[in-house]
């Protein structure tokens, strides 16, 4: 039994079942036993691989996309270039390298990373050259035009789950059964956020709510609407939450999310509609599959350029990475892109208003 599991069992035994959000928060960010607080989970030797780790093309194209928005919005002399949940720093390093050729962009950019893990901050320091400022929360970012990236950030934020029963809801909670952690149901509840969902759900349907995600989206949207900039949110999910998507991954394979608290990555699909609504008064783009977005930005041409100097296994790996990022059976369809931008301006390249 992990140290965190012992703590959770004692907490539940004393005070009763806890919400899924409380369980996820403890598993991911507990200062002593939390998954992200204690390890680097990325890459072949970790538990999962993200798009920036698959190919440099991903970060290059996202960086140039933001640079074009910066140009379209009049080249503000100083702006905040931020990333939420930067992992090892690979994405931001690729962004900074690709945008070096955009005159004035790097000189105007102040790099800010929102990262709560000391382990990952150390990795980011090694990956990113130049001045970087770290933050625990998005609210502490400085005021000013904000050009922001969030790749696989919102899926790791704690969710609550509600299951439809008759004309109401019960919350799915984590309790104890036969001295083991187990999912159960609360008594009847009436979350205000789910009033409208009664008309479109059926008996037994599960709806997920991510309050922390909506709060972050609201903060980002207010800053972009007030000061200019844009945000690119890339994650897996869909326009509206429906169904149980709570999951755990360890060693690149799915595992029971209650089996080893703190030792596996916990995620849930992103409800992009909720983020878009929370980001008002910023304007949001149409939700676009990652593969479509990258192809519109020119990943095919960039892939061809990089392939010219490769052969053998290196070329095969490069072509496999391109397919993994864009293929309909891989990340190309599962992952979606949502853009946020100020009203009255042009949406980020690759995305439709």
Give the three-class secondary structure for 289: strand
What are the tens digits of pLDDT across the range 127-157?
999 999 999 999 999 999 999 999 999 999 9
pLDDT > 90: percent of the chain: 90
Calpha distance 98→96 (Å, rounded): 6
Q: Domain residue spans in the chain?
A: 35-158+210-341
| Predicted structure pTM score | 0.95
User: Taking 80 as the threshold, does the pLDDT of residue 14 lie above it?
Assistant: yes
Provide the CATH number for the domain formed by 35-158+210-341 in this structure.
3.40.50.150
Q: Which two tokens stand for residue 187?
A: 């008594």
pLDDT at 71: 98
What are the tens digits of pLDDT across the range 279-291?
999 999 999 999 9
Q: Are 219 and 146 in contact (CB under 8 A)?
A: no
User: Taking 80 as the threshold, does the pLDDT of residue 37 lie above it?
Assistant: no
Calpha distance 28→267 (Å, rounded): 10
Instruction: Give the H/E segment covering residue 177.
Output: strand 168-177
pLDDT at 93: 98
Q: Which two tokens stand for residue 177?
A: 């059964």
Calpha distance 339→82 (Å, rounded): 15
CA distances from 30 to 7, 11, 21, 235, 254 (A): 11, 14, 13, 24, 22
User: Taking 70 as the threshold, does the pLDDT of residue 45 lie above it?
Assistant: no
> Residue range 238-242: average pLDDT?
96
CA distances from 137 to 145, 162, 213, 274, 313 (A): 17, 27, 12, 20, 42
């Amino acid at each position: 039994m992990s140290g965190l599991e012992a703590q959770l069992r004692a907490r539940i035994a004393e005070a009763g079942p806890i919400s899924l959000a409380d369980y996820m928060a403890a598993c991911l960010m507990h200062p002593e036993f939390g998954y992200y607080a204690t390890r680097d989970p990325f890459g072949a030797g970790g538990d999962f691989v993200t798009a920036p780790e698959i190919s440099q093309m991903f970060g290059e194209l996202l960086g140039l996309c933001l640079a074009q928005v910066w140009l379209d919005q009049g080249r503000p002399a100083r702006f905040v270039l931020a990333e939420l949940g930067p992992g090892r720093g690979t994405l931001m390093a690729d962004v900074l390298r690709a945008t070096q050729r955009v005159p004035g962009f790097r000189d105007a950019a102040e790099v800010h990373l929102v990262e709560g893990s000391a382990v990952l901050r150390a990795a980011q320091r090694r990956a990113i050259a130049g001045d970087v400022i770290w933050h625990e929360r998005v609210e502490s970012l400085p005021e000013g035009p904000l050009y922001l990236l969030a790749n696989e950030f919102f899926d790791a934020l704690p969710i609550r789950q509600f299951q439809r029963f008759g004309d109401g809801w019960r919350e799915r909670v984590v309790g104890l059964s036969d001295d083991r952690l187990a999912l159960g149901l609360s008594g009847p509840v009436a979350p205000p956020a789910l009033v409208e969902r009664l008309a479109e759900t059926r008996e037994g349907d599960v709806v997920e709510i991510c309050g922390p995600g909506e709060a972050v989206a609201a903060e980002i949207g207010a800053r972009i609407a007030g000061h200019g900039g844009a945000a690119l949110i890339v994650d897996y999910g869909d326009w509206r939450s429906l169904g149980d998507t709570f999951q755990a991954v360890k060693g690149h394979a799915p595992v029971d999310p209650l089996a080893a608290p703190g030792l596996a990555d916990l995620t849930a699909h992103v409800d992009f509609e909720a983020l878009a609504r929370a980001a008002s008064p910023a304007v949001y783009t149409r939700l676009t599959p990652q593969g479509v977005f990258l192809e519109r930005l020119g990943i095919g041409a960039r892939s061809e350029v990089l392939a010219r100097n490769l052969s053998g296994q290196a070329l095969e790996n490069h072509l496999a990475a391109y397919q993994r990022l864009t293929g309909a059976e891989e990340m190309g369809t599962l992952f979606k892109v949502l853009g946020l931008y100020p009203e009255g301006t042009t949406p980020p390249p690759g995305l439709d208003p």
